[in-house]
Structure 1
């Protein structure tokens, strides 16, 4: 479970779309306040999904090959297959010039409430769903299970936490460097999405097939 959560958390934190949006928020008039609202909403979404799963399982992992366990593995397999198909679709699609999303023009006027809503909108829900299917195996009675879930949430938010702290401690330097980072990310967004989708998709499929076969 821990390794799966670390792979999924890493893929989430490296996602280009929400990182670009976060940098735009940090550059807006309300800068770090918008960034903080986005970050807290992002974390709250992750925690809420995990909490719902644990309420369903009672914090006790289902027996191996029981219907709930098989359903969770099947969900991860389906998500993995979907990610692979999506990544392959993007890879085969003719290249398109990068265009900023429609909401990007309104970020300068964003308020903390809309920044929090944007975090919910930009959450990579397929990966979050894979994380939820993995958390089904968590055991709340053990420290290892609780630490794994905490580590997953922090890892999935690590890029946002790092940028928020940097913007608070060195706002002028952060503005220039983070905007340079955003320009690079936007220029390589398609390649990043393809790489992450294929890599995580293959991982989830392989792990799911192994779990079903053993």
Structure 2
């Protein structure tokens, strides 16, 4: 199980460092429903990652390893996923705002002050499990775990570790809000501003590194 967790740690960090969802949860923490919507968003994020992992492990788990050796199709899947992540990286190159230009945010963020807990959960689940970058990384993580051939229970634990680490990005602002009192709005405000201006750069670099890793893992799998 240790090997499986080691393989998915970089992917979990890639999911955790998702600037727009972090900005979204920070905005929620400035609304009157912050104490309910913030934790609800974190719960929805975990649920979104959990659904993706459950589907991949159920479908791929029994077929990802044969006789103790990883199945070749998983290497092909890693190659496709790695190329997909590299496409996300390329799409974000050059999108960083210049000068006094304000970063463009999704229109749905303008309605965050009207969110209830249910909508916070649903939005987070979509951002975690349907957003292209996170979907690719979650599928890659579940496939990598299944490929190790460890028992089903251990696969679930390894994916749970991935999901928990992948939730730290949206979870830490909630912890800051709940524990730091009057200092929290200032810290979270600086975080939101910095992420807004550097969102594209963060995604481009992060996806480039992880995409190359997945492609490298696929090539190693073919060679083995």
Please state which band the TM-score falls in when normalised by the shorter chain. 0.7 to 0.9
Given candidates 19, 23, 32, the residue that maps to 2:35 is: 32
| Match of residue 176 from structure 2 | 166
Given candidates 74, 77, 89, the residue that maps to 1:75 is: 77
**Structure 2: unaligned runs, 5 residues or longer:** 129-133
CA distance in 1, matches of 2:44, 2:111: 19
| Match of residue 110 from structure 1 | 115
SS of match in other structure, 1:188 = helix
CA distance in 2, matches of 1:58, 1:127: 17
Q: In angstroms, what is the RMSD of aligned CA positions?
A: 2.5
Number of equivalences: 212
CA distance in 2, matches of 1:28, 1:12: 25
Give the direction of change, closer, same or farther, for the CA distance of 1:93–1:171 in structure 2 (3 Å limit): closer
Out of 164-173 and 189-198, give the one that drifted further: 164-173
Per the normalisation by structure 1, the TM-score is: 0.87
5 Å matches for 1:171-210? 171-210=181-220
5 Å matches for 1:1-214? 1-57=4-60, 62-63=65-66, 69-91=71-93, 97=101, 98-123=103-128, 124-137=134-147, 139-140=150-151, 145-214=155-224
Give the direction of change, closer, same or farther, for the CA distance of 1:39–1:77 in structure 2 (3 Å limit): same
Per the normalisation by structure 2, the TM-score is: 0.84
